[in-house]
Amino acid sequence: MLLAGGNRWSVRYALSAVLFVLGYGAVSGVAAELNVLLILVDDLRPALGCYGDPLAKTPQIDRFATTARRFDRAYCQQAVCGPSRTALLTGRLPDHTTVWHNRNSFRTVQPDLITLPQLFRLHGWHCVSLGKVFSGDARELDPISWSVPEVLRKPEWKSAVLRADLQRGKGQPFECADVADEVYADGGLATAAVEQLRHSASGQQPFFLAVGFFKPHLPFNAPARYWDLHRREDFLSADPTARPVNAPELAFADHLELAGYRDVPSDERVGAATAAELRHGYYACVSYVDAQIGRLLQGLEDLRLQDSTIVVLLGDHGYGLGEAGRWCKDTNFELDTRIPLLLRVPGQRYPGKETRGLLESVDLYPTLAELAGLQASGPLDGRSFAAAVFDPEAPGREVALSQFSRPFRSGTPQVMGYSIRSDAQRYTRWIDWATKGQLAEELYDYAGVESSQQLSGGLVEHTNLAGLPGWSEVRRQMSERLDLELSERVRPLALPESAEPGRRRRKGAVLE
């Protein structure tokens, strides 16, 4: 198998050479049975020291990054939990699973689809899921993908410890409690994950262990020691709070996740002090998760599994912290769609070696399959980026595709926004789902300052260029490229007229 883009190296050849040195033999024929540790972090934008974020305090992930390939331009398919995780774990675009909402189910329309962990399970791996992997809701678990029942959350893993009114609405949007790490959910999850590694190390099968950490998802609750790592004054941001000029209303989330928490206005327009406290809480949660990931990776080393285990660490989608007047996710903007991604193959060390090739989260499925010597049993929308694991100069995609539906609810969309990210621009088109007629366009350029700027958290758009005469040619080129991308990659499923795409049903009732 030749590498994408005509690279002169074969991934199988390169990996075979590595494994030969380690004593695992060649990959050709029978795959060397490497373990897989997949670490998913909820709502994690590249707020990490290894990605250059000056506010981040993440020594454990930064240390791991010195031994892994860092992917600087990875993008999710849809910037919200359920659809993004379904895409990366199925290798299929949202339009091919009809998972455009957290309550949608790919099994409703694709009952025989083989997921990434299921592929490994069918080839002899012992597959275990701990924490938030497919979803944070028990209704979206997928038992057939795993060797044993998924553990989403244990009763002793607390989301909050100071609130007495846990059943009354969302409560406070942050919490700082002087408690041990294991009191909150991610500390307990890390302990369980290390114990699972210990159990797997004594087994006879290779393992595929997926660990899904809950933070930094709202509410921003973390032990006090992680709040104390940061100074509140560092989060009194001077970043612009105005929405991008000329951007259509469709570009902005119609589901306001932060709204509804105590003392947060319904339009999410919080004051400077509250904004600083929220940002402080987010980064405290990132530091807290960093420490738990450090415990997990140390457990891998202590059990001498690091030389037989592929390790992947990524966020499910990006996040906004008040930049350009937006909080959380649910858009096609850069902060929401860009994700951190680190990947380490046994025997490879990549200090300071990042790759800037564009890739999508659907590309993870074929990449891990190729690295393990497995062949997917059905069609995939992703493309392996295994070449870049060994060569940071290997070409990535020409454009990365993301999308978001409006309104954000289960069932068939009314409007869809398709967005492509090229090397220097982003073009987004909003269409009426039923007629496919165009409703609005957006164009942003990241190479200059006319429509975007670099802030501490990443690139932030400030002006939509789509209607400006000086950008008509770029708009035309990007529009044609989106046409090509949609025609070649996006083919909505042909469903019976009576079917409601992707909606879960239980006891005859639709679950919203």
DSSP 370-421: HHTT---SS--S----HHHHH-TTS--BSSEEEEEEES-SSSS-SEEEEEEE
Question: Domain for residue 470, yes or no?
Answer: no
Q: Indicate if the pLDDT at residue 39 is higher than 60.
A: yes
- CA distance readout (Å), 204 to 117, 195, 199, 200, 319: 18, 16, 10, 8, 40
**pLDDT band at 351; cut points 50, 70, 90:** low
CB–CB of 465/445 below 8 Å?
Answer: yes
Question: Domain for residue 57, yes or no?
Answer: yes
pTM of the entire predicted model: 0.91
pLDDT score at 477: 98
Question: Domain for residue 186, yes or no?
Answer: yes
pLDDT score at 376: 87
pLDDT score at 168: 57
First to last CA, the chain: 45
Record the tokens describing residue 192, joined without a space. Answer: 């369980």
Q: Indicate if the pLDDT at residue 74 is higher than 80.
A: yes
Q: Indicate if the pLDDT at residue 136 is higher than 90.
A: no
pLDDT score at 456: 86
Running DSSP on this structure, what letter comes out for residue 176? E
Mean per-residue pLDDT of the chain: 89
Question: Domain for residue 71, yes or no?
Answer: yes
CATH number (domain holding residue 321): 3.40.720.10
Expressed as residue numbers, the domain containing 238 is: 36-398
d(CA 186, CA 511) in angstroms, rounded, equals 28
Running DSSP on this structure, what letter comes out for residue 358? B
Q: Indicate if the pLDDT at residue 165 is higher than 70.
A: no
CB–CB of 69/344 below 8 Å?
Answer: yes
Question: Domain for residue 308, yes or no?
Answer: yes
Task: Please give the tally of structural domains in the chain.
Answer: 1
Q: Indicate if the pLDDT at residue 511 is higher than 60.
A: no
Question: Domain for residue 415, yes or no?
Answer: no
Question: Domain for residue 289, yes or no?
Answer: yes
**pLDDT band at 64; cut points 50, 70, 90:** very high
How many residues belong to the chain?
512
Question: Domain for residue 135, yes or no?
Answer: yes
Token look-up 């104390």 returns 228
**pLDDT band at 246; cut points 50, 70, 90:** very high
What pairs with residue 505 in β-bridges?
510
Question: What tens digit of pLDDT does each residue of 110-131 get?
Answer: 999 999 999 999 999 999 999 9
Question: What tens digit of pLDDT does each residue of 486-502 get?
Answer: 999 997 655 444 445 55
Question: What tens digit of pLDDT does each residue of 406-452 get?
Answer: 999 888 999 999 999 999 999 999 999 999 999 999 999 999 999 99
Pairing relation of β-strands 354-355 and 69-75? parallel
d(CA 479, CA 418) in angstroms, rounded, equals 11
Running DSSP on this structure, what letter comes out for residue 182? G
pLDDT score at 504: 43
Q: Indicate if the pLDDT at residue 29 is higher than 90.
A: no
pLDDT score at 166: 52
d(CA 421, CA 156) in angstroms, rounded, equals 42
Q: Indicate if the pLDDT at residue 505 is higher than 50.
A: no
Average pLDDT over residues 323-343: 97
CB–CB of 83/99 below 8 Å?
Answer: yes
User: C-alpha angle 15/21/22, rounded to 5°?
Assistant: 90
d(CA 247, CA 243) in angstroms, rounded, equals 8
